[in-house]
Amino acid sequence: MDLSKYVDLFLSEGREHVAELSGALAELESAPASVDAIAAAFRAVHSIKGMAAAMGYAVVTERADTLESALDVLRRGEEQLTPSSLGDLIDEADALAREIELAVTRPAPGPEAEGYATPTDPSANPARKRATHVRIRASRLDSLMNLVGEIEIARGQLERELRNVTGETISSAFARTSRLLSELREQVVGARMVPVGDVFERFPRLVRETARSLGKEVDFTLDGAEIEMDRSILDRIGDPVMHLLRNALDHGIESAEERASNGKSTRGRLTLSAQREAGYVLIRVADDGSGIDRDSVLARARAAGIVGWDTDALDDVTLLRVLAHPGFSTAASVTNISGRGVGLDVVDAAVRLLGGAIEIRTVAHRGTAITLRLPLSVAIVRALIARVGEELFAIPFTHVVETLQFEPPAAAFRGAEWTETTIGDLIVRVVMLRTLFGIEPCVSGRMPGVSVLARGRRAALIVDDFVGQQDVVVKRFDPPRGGSSMFAGATVLGDGSPALIVDVNSLI
């Protein structure tokens, strides 16, 4: 049996199972007793084992078998997971992932081996070419990125100190150091970048299969597979994107008969595209299907109390808010209407966790496009630095629409709470950061604020003043026990002062 045609499938599906495995192990770190996570890890390893055995990859099979046995003991409840045994499992999983990649690069014995070019032509020698790549643990790249961040902070402090020092040699050496540092940062960020195609390559097949099982005819296009983004972000958006594609096939694109009766081509069109846009990557899933039935979503949203009874139409922004409302879209009865938002809350949560945002556009009978706006890199975000009281806060640009001056209503001066304001024609919620952060409120005639957009909603965050904008290195921290945090992390600004990074999503 010729196995060579299965190599690509083995690798892409093997990687998927590796991703599921690491996801499950990560979950076990926080919930060591999770039966579901153990079962998921077991299934992933089990599938790898079966596939590797079929391919004749003995080392992978053996490693998978060892790991499977260890997981099986946990699955049966014969042993409890301890931090050290979890550490061993994670190491084993890493080793397994490495072996999978190695197994497919080893030249197959037989006629293929003779096809190698002569060693006198190094550029044509595949073995030599391969040697220019080394495999680096992702955690090592993380530490490099962290160090670059620390050096940037030290550079900022140095810059401040140097203001009081004169001397041409010093300032030119400093300028050179700064330039080299930003080059270094670019290189480190670049080292973490992989083309989105690495994860998206499995989608054409998935779309084909899903379309076939639904009995629909669909032309699928994948654009921008070469666009690069941070591996750690890319790994986390595979599932959400798959979800959006399934939704589009299942609920978006109509059956051939329905399309024909509406005067559309019987073949549906589905596009997955990636595109760079100033510091972000936009991932878009667009179909030319029936669009989302706003009326039925509205009716359900009213019934569920997500919007008031006075809401008589859903614009794109409100529609997204309703669809991303936890639980709304997963309600079983929604799957049969063209509500289309099935599980959109899950996608929304995954994207938010990465510091990204979702946008939705839908036109009845023309189709739906859902865009995930994701930062290029998780470690650094561009942020607006604002002062509130004595403290500095960073507001990530992902959510900033514009900075404005807001006029509080007269009532606010008499101590009444200021809850709403207008931006253009929109009435939006006001969030006074002073009040929120427990600082003595202070109202004046015109107050600086920022118009933000998150989870499909606009709001006005009122600050004391703006200090500037800069790239901040995000140091994540866990939210306080039992509650969600208003902050997505902390950073140290150029002058060495700490600043909390505001989690705009949590304020809206």
If the CB atoms of residues 40 and 376 are measured against another protein, the closer one turns out to be 40
Q: Kindly give, in sequence order, each residue whose CB lies less than 8 Å from that of residue 264, ignoring residues fewer than 6 positions away.
A: 254, 288, 365
If the CB atoms of residues 1 and 313 are measured against another protein, the closer one turns out to be 1
If the CB atoms of residues 205 and 446 are measured against another protein, the closer one turns out to be 205
Amino acid at 147: L
Give the containing element (helix H, strand E) for 458. Answer: strand 457-462
Of 109-148, binders to another protein (CB under 8 A) are none
If the CB atoms of residues 93 and 452 are measured against another protein, the closer one turns out to be 93
Report how far residue 135's alpha carbon sits from residue 226's, in angstroms, rounded to the nearest whole number. 20
Q: How many CA atoms lie within 13 A of 151 on its CB side?
A: 16
Q: Residue from 18, 21, 25, 49 that binds another protein (CB under 8 A)?
A: 49
Rounded least distance, CB 51 to another protein, Å: 5
**What is the Rg, in whole angstroms, of the alpha carbon atoms belonging to the chain?**
26
If the CB atoms of residues 5 and 106 are measured against another protein, the closer one turns out to be 5
**Residue 175 contacts another protein per CB under 8 A:** no
**Residue 203 contacts another protein per CB under 8 A:** no
**Residue 68 contacts another protein per CB under 8 A:** yes
**Residue 54 contacts another protein per CB under 8 A:** yes
Rounded least distance, CB 55 to another protein, Å: 8
**Residue 330 contacts another protein per CB under 8 A:** no
Of 274-303, binders to another protein (CB under 8 A) are none
**Bridge partners, residue 381, by sequence:** 472
Q: Which two tokens stand for residue 415?
A: 């101590």
Report how far residue 58's alpha carbon sits from residue 52's, in angstroms, rounded to the nearest whole number. 7
Tell me, rounded to whole angstroms, the distance of Cα 85 from its chain centroid: 30
Of 29-48, binders to another protein (CB under 8 A) are 40, 42-43, 46-47
Rounded least distance, CB 67 to another protein, Å: 12
If the CB atoms of residues 13 and 142 are measured against another protein, the closer one turns out to be 13
φ, ψ (nearest 5 deg) of residue 469: -135, 150
Taking the C-alpha atoms of 136, 140, 146 and 152 in order, what is their torsion angle to the nearest 10 degrees?
Answer: -50
Q: Residue from 137, 176, 179, 205 that binds another protein (CB under 8 A)?
A: 205
Q: Which two tokens stand for residue 384?
A: 């607006």
Tell me, rounded to whole angstroms, the distance of Cα 233 from its chain centroid: 5
Q: Which two tokens stand for residue 290?
A: 């029936």
How many chain residues are in contact with another protein, going by CB under 8 A? 25
Sheet with 380-388, strands from edge to edge, namely 465-473, 380-388, 391-396, 498-502, 487-492
Rounded least distance, CB 473 to another protein, Å: 39
- Single out the segment in contact with another protein by CB under 8 A; choices: 51-59, 84-92, 150-158, 248-256: 51-59
Residues that bind another protein (CB under 8 A): 1, 6, 9-10, 13-14, 17, 40, 42-43, 46-47, 49-51, 53-56, 65, 68-69, 205, 209, 213
